[in-house]
Amino acid sequence: MTELGERLSGILGPKGWIPAAEAAPWTRDWLDRFGAPPLGVARPATTAEVSAVMGAAHAAGVPVVPQGGNTGLCGGAVLGAPGGVILSLARMAACGEPDIASGSIEVEAGLVLQVLHEALEGAGLMFPMHLGAEGSAQIGGLIGTNAGGSHAFRFGMMQDLVLGLEVVLADGTVWDGLRAVQKDNAGYQLRRLFCGSEGTLGIVTRAVLKLYPAPRQRATALLVLPDAAATVAFGTRLRAEAGEVLTGLEFFCDLGLDLALRHVPALTYPLQTRGGFYLLVEVASASDRMPLEEILTGVLEWGMEEGLVLDGTIAASDAQRSAFWRLREEQPEGQRLEGAQLKHDVAVPPGRIAEFMEAAGALCEGLVPGVRINPFGHLADGNIHYNLSPPHGEAGFGDRARDLGLAVAKLATEMGGSFAAEHGLGQAKVGLADALRSPVERRLMLTLRRAFDPGATLNPWAVVPADAA
Ligand SMILES: Cc1cc2nc3c(=O)[nH]c(=O)nc-3n(C[C@H](O)[C@H](O)[C@H](O)COP(=O)(O)OP(=O)(O)OC[C@H]3O[C@@H](n4cnc5c(N)ncnc54)[C@H](O)[C@@H]3O)c2cc1C
């Protein structure tokens, strides 16, 4: 074992230090595209231990990459070269008691999102972040990527839900910013800076999160629509009519439905009609006096009269509601099980989604005739997971992948959007950022990184690489 390995093993004990030979489960990213063998995996149980690990790694000049649930889709939670330390927060998973009167809760970074949801059941409060990986993703990882998910258009991204943070800096110094108020304008918004920093500015160890009143009632509908233009038109009217009670507006396409039904057992499609696109709509309220079904059926009837909605159904039970959500949430899994795929996480102004679909479709078809295009995502904030499967009979995209990625990313950027909407840059999108963001933006990011981590030991491969010129 190296000197640093021995030191960390001494600090953390056998439960807290996994040597290189046993580190395989932490080594590769979720999509198995990135990762290199580590010196070992540090699994501290306290902030003091995180601080000691960081201090030792800093002194040795060895890179450290924090890892949460390792569900990130851009390769940000694994090493870019052998020999660094993976710092897993999994043992720091405590969940405090909710402060009911203030609407907040303090948690440790390793707490799994779904466990937080379960802990809040019956408290009358909820944490409004939902995504397909919530059974594994941890609060620290969600902060690290500034996660979005299906309710972000209504309640904000992670940066809007974090009130306070405790962070261990590159040299082991602990910043205690565990305040529990939304309003704190005492200088730069440090807590926001760590949201989306992907482990390059510090290690989040604890957070105070904002809670919202839990819904007392909800109504969930699954709708069939002819095409993207109808989906955008219907979504616009729905947002205007339902206002603040609209909490879910997710879309997927017929290819995605087909793949999910084919590959994911136990999924069922409850309607007779098929269309080009599908919408999962949810309205919810903490008040039991809000006429939710009336609001929803009113817009639905309008959509049907206008020919925008071909068919639809409202969930009659909690089980049916979950079944509708699974049709949307299993979209990534359906496509993964189909074989090779290219994932793009773009955002465009919501009113331009249909225009984007048309232009992106033409670009991709031009580059790879017969490419199978499977867009799904979050209609109300314009976030499209524009995913591609190769033409029937082809195993992958080969060297056409780069051109496809650049074309889709460039189009979204030119339309006033983003090529990295909610998954971050990680290692996967550093090249795209270099190509599509201005040198000014890149320099500002590099300046920040170097100010927080002059020794370049914090996740040096992600976002803007520490050795960038
Ligand atoms: C099926 C599926 C569905 C998904 N759906 C969504 C979605 O709807 N919306 C969305 O935004 N994302 C989605 N994701 C992506 C992923 O779940 C999110 O990026 C999530 O925030 C990652 O959390 P994690 O704990 O797994 O973090 P990891 O993957 O472990 O880490 C992500 C990044 O955060 C850093 N990090 C981890 N812990 C810390 C810490 N304590 N302090 C500082 N930095 C840290 C890591 O170094 C890495 O750069 C999905 C992923 C899958 C597999």
Phi, psi of 440 (to 5 degrees): -65, -45
> Does the beta carbon of 63 lie inside 6 Å of ligand 1?
no
CA of 138 to the centre of ligand 1 (A): 7
451 found inside a domain: no
Helix-then-strand count for the chain, H and E: 17, 17
Rounded to two decimals, the pTM is 0.96
> Does the beta carbon of 147 lie inside 6 Å of ligand 1?
yes
> Does the beta carbon of 112 lie inside 6 Å of ligand 1?
no
Statement to judge: residues 206 and 248 lie in one domain: no
443 found inside a domain: no
Contact 401, 390 (CB under 8 A): no
CA of 144 to the centre of ligand 1 (A): 7
350 found inside a domain: yes
pLDDT confidence of residue 468 = 84
> Does the beta carbon of 299 lie inside 6 Å of ligand 1?
no
pLDDT confidence of residue 464 = 95
Point out the ligand 1 atom lying closest to the alpha carbon of residue 203: 42
CA of 270 to the centre of ligand 1 (A): 32
Q: Ligand 1 pocket check: which of 205, 423, 427, 464 to mutate, most ligand atoms within 8 Å of Cβ?
A: 423
Q: How far is C-alpha 247 from the geometric centre of its chain's CA atoms?
A: 17
446 found inside a domain: no
Cβ-Cβ contacts under 8 Å for 217 (sequence gap 6 or more):
284, 285, 288, 290, 292
Statement to judge: residues 322 and 374 lie in one domain: no
Q: What CA–CA distances, in Å, run from 144 to 141, 182, 394, 459?
A: 5, 19, 36, 11
Among 174, 193, 213, identify where a domain stops: 213
CATH number for the domain that contains residue 15: 3.30.43.10
234 found inside a domain: yes
> Does the beta carbon of 137 lie inside 6 Å of ligand 1?
yes
CA of 461 to the centre of ligand 1 (A): 16
**Digit-coded pLDDT (tens) for 18-31:** 999 999 999 999 99
> Does the beta carbon of 427 lie inside 6 Å of ligand 1?
no
**Digit-coded pLDDT (tens) for 240-275:** 999 999 999 999 999 999 999 999 998 999 999 999
CA of 147 to the centre of ligand 1 (A): 7
Cβ-Cβ contacts under 8 Å for 140 (sequence gap 6 or more):
66, 68, 89, 109, 110, 203, 204, 205, 207
Q: Ligand 1 pocket check: which of 43, 64, 67 to mutate, most ligand atoms within 8 Å of Cβ?
A: 67
> Does the beta carbon of 383 lie inside 6 Å of ligand 1?
no
Point out the ligand 1 atom lying closest to the alpha carbon of residue 197: 44
CATH number for the domain that contains residue 376: 3.30.70.2740
Contact 456, 446 (CB under 8 A): no
Statement to judge: residues 227 and 293 lie in one domain: yes
**Angle formed by the axes of helices 353-367 and 400-414, to 10°?**
160
pLDDT confidence of residue 341 = 94
Count of structural domains, the chain: 4
* Pairwise CA distance, residues 222 & 232, whole Å: 15
Which has the closest alpha carbon to 26: 1, 197, 34, 422?
Answer: 34
Q: Nearest residue CA, atom 18 of ligand 1?
A: 72
> Does the beta carbon of 204 lie inside 6 Å of ligand 1?
yes
> Does the beta carbon of 41 lie inside 6 Å of ligand 1?
no
Statement to judge: residues 315 and 226 lie in one domain: yes
3-class secondary structure, 102: coil
Contact 433, 464 (CB under 8 A): yes
pLDDT beneath 70: ranges in the chain: 1
Statement to judge: residues 72 and 155 lie in one domain: no
CATH number for the domain that contains residue 116: 3.30.465.10
Point out the ligand 1 atom lying closest to the alpha carbon of residue 157: 11
Could you say which DSSP state residue 390 is in?
A: P
Statement to judge: residues 249 and 280 lie in one domain: yes
Amino acid at 404: L
CA of 440 to the centre of ligand 1 (A): 27
Among 288, 314, 332, identify where a domain stops: 332
Statement to judge: residues 263 and 317 lie in one domain: yes
CATH number for the domain that contains residue 256: 3.30.70.2190
> Does the beta carbon of 145 lie inside 6 Å of ligand 1?
yes
Could you say which DSSP state residue 173 is in?
A: P
> Does the beta carbon of 161 lie inside 6 Å of ligand 1?
no
> Does the beta carbon of 64 lie inside 6 Å of ligand 1?
no
Range of the domain at 401: 339-429
